[in-house]
Amino acid sequence: MNPDDYNDHGMLRLPLWFWTILILQARTWLLFVMAGASRQQGSEMLSLFYPDPQSFWSGMLLGLPPALVFLLSGRRHLWPRIWQAGYWLLLAGMFATFALQGLGVWQSTDTLSAVDILLALLDAAALAYWLLSRRLRACFDAARRLA
């Protein structure tokens, strides 16, 4: 790897796709913040994307680890063990999200919306990238530092 790939703390810089995946996985939290900022239309916005309150709360629960990893990312050099565990926690969350989407599609009696299909495809692509990217895996490896 190139020395420019490392930050001031000797750790690999996080790739752009890492941030994209975090936004995708924490989408319920982002929608919740946007609904809170729009005040009058907030409840309408939430009911549009989450007509079932159960799916909203499961989205909030599954979006909590990405939100925490986002907050930890700037200080990952201070807590390397917690940072390493974040990789596996996010991976488990992605599997759970994908499984819940599959279960929802299987149990659905309505026709599938384009948004549901798009989110399922994006989650599958994020999961594939998470599993196959050696660079991303190296970013979570505390032993991988610039010597």
CA atoms within a 13 Å half-sphere pointing along the CA-CB vector of 140: 18
Percent of the chain with pLDDT over 90: 47
Going residue by residue through the chain, which has 147 residues, state the pLDDT in tens, using 9 for 90 and above.
677 788 777 788 899 999 999 999 999 999 999 998 987 888 888 888 887 888 899 999 999 999 999 999 988 888 889 999 999 999 999 999 989 888 877 887 777 778 888 888 999 999 999 999 999 999 998 655 544
The gap between the terminal CA atoms of the chain, to the nearest Å, is 12
3-state secondary structure of 139: helix
Q: Over the stretch 83-94, which tens digit does the pLDDT of each residue have?
A: 999 999 999 999
Return d(Cα 16, Cα 53) in angstroms, integer.
32
